[in-house]
A = this chain, B = another copy of it.
Amino acid sequence: MTAADVFAHPASRLSLEVFRLNGALIAVGDALVAPLGLTSARWQVMGAVAEARGRLPVAGIARNMGLVRQSVQRIADELEAEGILHFVANPHHRRARLVQLTERGAALFDAASASWLALADTLVAALGAGEVDRAVALLRAARESLQPPDREEEAS
């Protein structure tokens, strides 16, 4: 296979489609939560905080999201300034305070979730739940195949 065929390779087409869908999802997410004064990235951080049930510090949230600490830290600081989340003392670690949604943050996240679930339902209805699950499994397998199995190294 020569370089000229690079565009036709199944892996190339998968990659390009992942890039496009990634962009489309962020655009849809931004539009969805803009009325709430949020962005796609802030919404995602709020989701990770909600999922952790307030039992993780910023670094733990970042690990769950597959991002580096610094990215989440900046957004978390902004969300704290807006009263959407707050940091509480961590009995196990003096510096690594736990991140929790405030009442206002939880209400915002619930509102965002409601909007998203409406769209998510129509999306799955159009695509078929079984096909979606199958694609999720393949995407995960692709990612695990790309990521050298264990890599938790610190950026520094």
Contact = CB atoms under 8 A, between A and B. Distances in A.
A141 B117 contact: no
A21 interface: yes
Main secondary structure of the interface of A (DSSP, over half): helix
A15 interface: yes
Interface of A: 1, 3, 5-7, 9-15, 17-25, 28, 44, 47, 51, 66-67, 109-110, 113-114, 116-117, 119-124, 126-127, 129, 131-136, 138-143, 145-147
Contact of A141 (B1, B7, B28, B127): B127
Contacts of A145: 122-123, 126-127
A120 B15 CA distance: 10
A10 B13 CA distance: 23
Contact of A18 (B7, B13, B25, B147): B25
A45 to B, nearest CB: 12
A11 B123 contact: yes
Q: Which 8 A-B pairs have the closest CB atoms?
A: A11-B120, A3-B113, A22-B22, A6-B113, A17-B139, A10-B132, A135-B138, A3-B110
